[in-house]
Amino acid sequence: MGRKKRRKSKAEWTITDWEEWLWKIFSRYIRLRDCIKTTGTTDWGRCVTCNRKYSFKNLQAGHFIPGRTRAILFDETCVHAQCYRCNCKLDGAWPAYYRFMQQEYGQEKVEKLVDLYLVDCELSPDWFEQSYQYYEWAVDEMSRTGQLVGE
Ligand SMILES: [Zn+2]
């Protein structure tokens, strides 16, 4: 591995830097949550769309609605553990994802999420800091106890 890029200080971060930073812990949170939900372990989980079992490190956090727009990028109900094939090769496998969302959350919630796709929202550094702290805590807690948090 080569030398890492010089780290910018947080004061210089763009919204993309903040998003990348939070995404790392958020993705861990989502995969851990769904491992516990689907297998009762922290090491294995089922892909939300093909239902096959994968190890934690072979799962990705995949969006129900493609495009990663700001209002839904970090919406927990929009993101679930997915395998590489479903998330990348099959572009999110949206027909199966759509059916899952209907069953899991109900049609009304699905419609609301689709509407949110078009909403732009401003996220502040404070919001990112607070969210990061929460997800860092939640990941620790779930790893330690093997139980879901906040439900
Ligand atoms: Zn899959």
Is the predicted pLDDT of residue 2 greater than 50, yes or no? no
Q: Is the CB of residue 5 less than 8 Å from the CB of residue 17? A: no
86-90, 97-101, 111-115: least confident range: 111-115
Q: Tell me what pLDDT residue 132 has.
A: 97
pLDDT category of residue 1 using cuts at 50, 70 and 90: very low
Mean pLDDT along residues 16-28: 95
Q: What is the pTM of this model?
A: 0.91
Structural domain harbouring 114: 37-127
Structural domain contains residue 147: no
Structural domain contains residue 20: no
Structural domain contains residue 9: no
Q: Tell me what pLDDT residue 67 has.
A: 66
Q: Is the CB of residue 48 less than 8 Å from the CB of residue 82? A: yes
* 58 CA distance to ligand 1 middle (Å): 10
Structural domain contains residue 3: no
* Total domains present in the chain: 1
CA 143 to CA 146: how far, in whole Å? 6
* 85 CA distance to ligand 1 middle (Å): 6
* 71 CA distance to ligand 1 middle (Å): 25
Q: How many CA atoms lie within 13 A of 71 on its CB side?
A: 11
Structural domain contains residue 135: no
* 127 CA distance to ligand 1 middle (Å): 32
